[in-house]
């Protein structure tokens, strides 16, 4: 079962990320060259996003543990005029983002295809080392009474019948899975969230799915990257549909 078409999809953010095997050392002319080729659509103010790396070291005697923070890597983001669509470039990576309201797969796919082609043209990588597709879904459940998660999801916290309270006030579940036929990783996160002001009185649930594949020993040829992405998208859609119930689908105005 693939992801169905919904008039009101719950997608808060969709992200597609490629990591590349470089053919040369990274330099900061690459983002400039990339931007020159995509600035006709991404007309918003470019932004810089800096990441930090952390390390936690413990001695064999577990004495005086050391926690260090050091500069990590930087990613440049190029938004559209309405800031709902973005592309980003960092060292040996490119990502495409879609914020709510989700533009639909066809529009998202077109932007992914273009960003991939432009990055390959300016950076000249020799292959792909990782492809990831992530959908962060925020599902608002209208209710004035306590809800049963099992009415809306096929995965949810399960507690013993005795010994612990039965009423859940907050929760977070994380599951990592590997497909048997292809080494594709699927990460599922289900949690409660704070409802936005416009949805006061509703229960907000976040269903966060990331599906990815890596090539460590030998990079994936560039010409196979997009078809591989589309395979990941099919599997993500199947996973999403298997995790929700028909009662949840009614919230999205299924076509």
User: DSSP readout, the chain?
Assistant: -PPPPBSS--EEEEEEEEEEE-SS---THHHHHHHHHHTTT--S--EEEEEEEEEEE--TT--S-EEEEEEEEEEEEEE-TTSSEEEEEETTEEEEEEESSP--HHHHHHHHHHHHHHHHHHH--SEEEEEEEEEEEEEEEE-SS---GGGTBSS-----SSSS-S--S--EEEEEEE-SSS-EEEEEEEEEEPPPGGGTTEEEEEEEEEEEEE-SSSPBPGGGHHHHHHHHHHHHHHHHHHHB-HHHHHHTTB-
Token couple for 99: 């914020």
Token couple for 140: 């608002």
- For 229, residues 6+ apart whose C-beta sits below 8 A from its C-beta are 16, 112, 131, 133
pLDDT at 253: 82
- Mean pLDDT, residues 61-89: 78
Q: Domain for residue 64, yes or no? A: yes
Above 60 in pLDDT, residue 157? yes
Q: Is 32 left (phi over 0), alpha (psi -120 to 50) or beta?
A: alpha
Top pLDDT among 145 and 130 is at: 130
Q: Domain for residue 6, yes or no? A: no
Q: Domain for residue 232, yes or no? A: yes
Above 60 in pLDDT, residue 62? no
- Mean pLDDT, residues 143-159: 82
For the chain, percent of residues with pLDDT exceeding 70: 82
Q: Domain for residue 4, yes or no? A: no
pLDDT at 199: 63
pLDDT at 74: 82
What are the residues facing 6 on neighbouring strands?
Answer: 254
Give me the number of domains the chain comprises: 1
Q: Mean of the per-residue pLDDT values for the chain? A: 88
Nearest of 179, 185, 202, 204 to residue 194 by alpha carbon: 204
Q: Domain for residue 3, yes or no? A: no
Give 63's pLDDT tier (boundaries 50, 70, 90).
low
Above 70 in pLDDT, residue 200? no
A 10 A CB-CB count for 35 gives 17
Q: Mean pLDDT check: name the lowest of 26-30, 45-49, 169-173.
A: 169-173
Q: Domain for residue 148, yes or no? A: yes
Q: Domain for residue 109, yes or no? A: yes
Token couple for 41: 């659509």
- The Cα 190–Cα 194 span in angstroms is 13
Note down the domain range covering 222: 11-251
pLDDT at 40: 96
pLDDT at 148: 86
Q: Domain for residue 219, yes or no? A: yes
- Mean pLDDT, residues 113-120: 98
pLDDT at 134: 98
pLDDT at 176: 96
- The Cα 25–Cα 145 span in angstroms is 58
């Amino acid at each position: 079962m693939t992801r169905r078409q919904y008039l009101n999809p719950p997608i808060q953010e969709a992200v597609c990320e490629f990591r590349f095997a470089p053919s040369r050392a990274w330099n900061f002319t690459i983002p400039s060259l990339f931007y020159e080729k995509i600035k006709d659509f991404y007309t918003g103010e470019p932004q810089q996003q800096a990441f930090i790396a952390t390390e936690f070291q413990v001695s064999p005697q577990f004495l005086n543990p050391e926690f260090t923070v050091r500069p990590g890597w930087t990613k440049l983001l190029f938004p559209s005029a309405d800031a709902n669509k973005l592309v980003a470039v960092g060292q040996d990576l490119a990502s495409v983002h879609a914020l709510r309201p989700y533009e639909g797969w066809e529009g998202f796919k077109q932007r992914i295809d273009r960003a991939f082609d432009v990055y390959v043209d300016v950076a000249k990588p020799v292959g792909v080392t990782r492809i990831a597709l992530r959908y962060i879904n925020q599902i608002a459940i209208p209710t004035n009474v306590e809800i049963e998660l099992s009415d809306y999801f096929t995965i949810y916290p399960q507690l013993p019948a005795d010994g612990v309270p039965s009423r859940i006030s907050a929760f977070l579940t994380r599951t990592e899975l590997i497909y048997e036929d292809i080494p594709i990783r699927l990460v599922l996160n289900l949690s409660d969230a704070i409802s936005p002001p416009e949805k006061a009185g509703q229960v907000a649930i976040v269903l966060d799915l990331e599906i990815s594949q890596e090539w460590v020993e030998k990079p994936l040829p560039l010409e196979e990257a997009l078809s591989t992405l589309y395979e990941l998208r099919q599997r993500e859609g199947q996973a999403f549909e298997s995790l929700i119930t028909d009662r949840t689908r009614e919230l999205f105005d299924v076509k």
